[in-house]
Homo-oligomer: A and B are copies of this chain.
Amino acid sequence: MVESATKKIFNFSAGPCVLPQEVLKQAQAEMLDWRGSGVSVMEMSHRSKEFIEIAETAERDFRELMDLPKTGYQVFFFQGGASMQFSAIPYNLLGGEKKFGQYLTTGAWSESAIKEAKKISSPVEIWPTSGGKFNTVAPSADWQISKEAAYFHYCDNETIHGVEFPQEFPFDLVPEGQPLICDMSSNFCSRPVSWDKYGVVYAGAQKNVGPAGVCISVIRDDLIGTHMRKDTPLLFDWKQFRDAPTKMHNTPACYPIYVAGLNLAYMKRIGGLPHLEAEAKRKSSLLYDFIDASSEYYSNPVDVKYRSRMNIPFRVKKDDKLEAKFLKEAQEHGLIELKGHRSVGGCRASIYNAMPYEGVEALVNFMKKFRDENQ
């Protein structure tokens, strides 16, 4: 948050979103001259030793923060967001004998993922009755799981619908030997990942990690180049990137990688995942507890078991007009970007790593005040 001329701002955007002030200040201080190099990071060749150092440091800090095994996985800073990986996944994994993947759809983003797979294959939908509502996950007894699929894809946290898997996904339901692929865009770096359970984890960085333009993708070595379709476009081609000098086949989004790197180092400094996970719980509980205690006025539609710690959709008396007033007045109080996604309406508070506890307190205080003034 920033002390602007009139007020303190708390930014609840679903992404791109709030970044730590310390990270922004460091980027600002280094803008004209990165550590005596005489040039801005934005002016560096991606092949220069300076930028390679920046990218390698970012990867090292990421691996340490996330406790990623030293070998067995490649880390990429791709362009194109998670949406590009929606396409890259079937291209990279359906060139072998197995011709389809299976998808658990629990919200808008996993639906977008299967939509891309459908362009070049006939993916299986594990829970085909899910469509539309998306406020829980069906009991696993209802899941129609294929043993023949090339991979199993799901989304760990649905940004729009506010549906998140509890700490552990039910890994035992994934058929043996079938790579588990996960879109972790909106809860990445907020809790540990059981890496040995995953084949691919990918995440648009513009939530918990950095600015827009980078999709951090962690891909198990044996999935790179082994089952790739021959017509895989260059930008989707995990093997080309792995084999390129310092994993940059073409020019990456250098500056967003640099800022993500500053934030990865910062997240390590302030206590790493134990701290971030505890804070995510503390912040989201504060808001959920208040919503539940005010259920005649505010409501969250998601099954308690699958409530997201990151994205909290809520309604104000289920009244569009009142919500418009709520959003307007919240903004006047410095609480910005609380509008729900246009596809679902209502309100949504996104509470990522960089949102301070006092921001959620300010929101809850405003919600109390608004309720009392608008009975």
Residues in A lying within 8 Å of B, measured CB to CB: 1-2, 4-5, 7-9, 11, 13-19, 21, 24-25, 27-28, 31-33, 36-40, 42-46, 48, 79-84, 86-87, 112, 115-116, 119-120, 204, 206, 211-213, 230-236, 249-256, 259, 334, 336-337
Residues A119 and B251 in contact, CB atoms below 8 Å apart: no
* Chain A residues touching B, majority SS: loop
Q: For the complex, give the distance between the alpha carbons of A42 and B211 in Å.
A: 5
Chain B residues with Cβ below 8 Å from A18 are 39, 43
User: A79 CA to B119 CA in the complex, in Å?
Assistant: 21
CB distance from A304 to the nearest CB of B (A): 28
Docked CA distance A33–B1 (Å): 10
Contact between chains at B45 and A19 (CB < 8 Å): no
**In contact, A15 and B120 (Cβ under 8 angstroms):** no
- Residue of chain B at shortest CB distance from A9: B38
Could you say how many copies of this chain the assembly holds?
A: 2
Q: Which residue of B lies closest to A255 (CB)?
A: B211
Closest B residue to A120 by beta carbon equals B231
A27 x B31 contact (CB < 8 A): yes
Chain B neighbourhood of A252, CB < 8 A: 212-213
Most buried by B among A5, A37, A43: A43
Q: With A16-B42, A38-B2, A212-B251 as given contacts, are A231 and B24 in contact (CB-CB < 8 Å)?
A: no
Q: Tell me whether A5 and B36 are in contact (CB under 8 A).
A: yes
Which residue of B is nearest A3, CB measured? B38
Are A32 and B28 touching (Cβ within 8 A)?
yes
Quick one: given A213-B254, A234-B86, A256-B213, are A334 and B38 in contact (CB under 8 Å)? yes
CB-based nearest B residue for A254: B212
> How near does chain B come to A259, taking the closest CB pair, in angstroms?
7
Tell me, rounded to whole Å, the shortest Cβ–Cβ distance linking A102 to chain B: 20
Whether A16 pairs with B4 at a CB distance below 8 angstroms is no
Q: How far is the CB of A35 from chain B (nearest CB, A)?
A: 10
Set of chain B residues within 8 Å of A40, measured between Cβ atoms: 19, 24
Contact B2 A16 (CB under 8 A): no
A120: chain B residues at CB < 8 Å are: 231
- Can you identify 18 A-B contacts, CB atoms within 8 angstroms? A1-B38, A4-B33, A15-B251, A16-B45, A19-B40, A21-B32, A25-B32, A42-B259, A79-B79, A79-B80, A79-B84, A83-B250, A87-B234, A116-B234, A212-B251, A212-B252, A212-B253, A213-B254
